[in-house]
Amino acid sequence: MKKHILVLAATLINLIAFGQNTYTKSEKTSFSVHDTDTEFAIKSSFPTNRSERFQKVLMNALGEETKSTGKESYWVEENFTASFSRNGFKAWLDKKKANANQIKLFKKLAEDLQAVLEQPTPPTPPKQPEN
Alpha-carbon gap, residue 40 to 108, rounded angstroms = 12
What is the residue-wise DSSP string for 15-30? HHHHHT---------E
At 27-41, the pLDDT tens digits run: 688 899 999 999 999
- Give the pTM: 0.69
Give the CATH fold of the 30-116 domain.
Answer: Gyrase A; domain 2 (3.30.1360)
Q: Confidence class of residue 57 from pLDDT cuts 50, 70 and 90? A: very high
Q: Is the dihedral of CA 76, 41, 115, 106 positive or negative?
A: negative
User: Regarding beta strands 30-35 and 39-45, do their DSSP bridges make them parallel or antiparallel, or are they unpaired?
Assistant: antiparallel
Going from N- to C-terminal start, the domains of the chain cover 30-116
**Percentage of residues in the chain with pLDDT exceeding 70?**
73
Task: Give the phi and the psi of residue 32 in degrees, each rounded to 5.
Answer: -140, 150
Q: Confidence class of residue 116 from pLDDT cuts 50, 70 and 90? A: confident
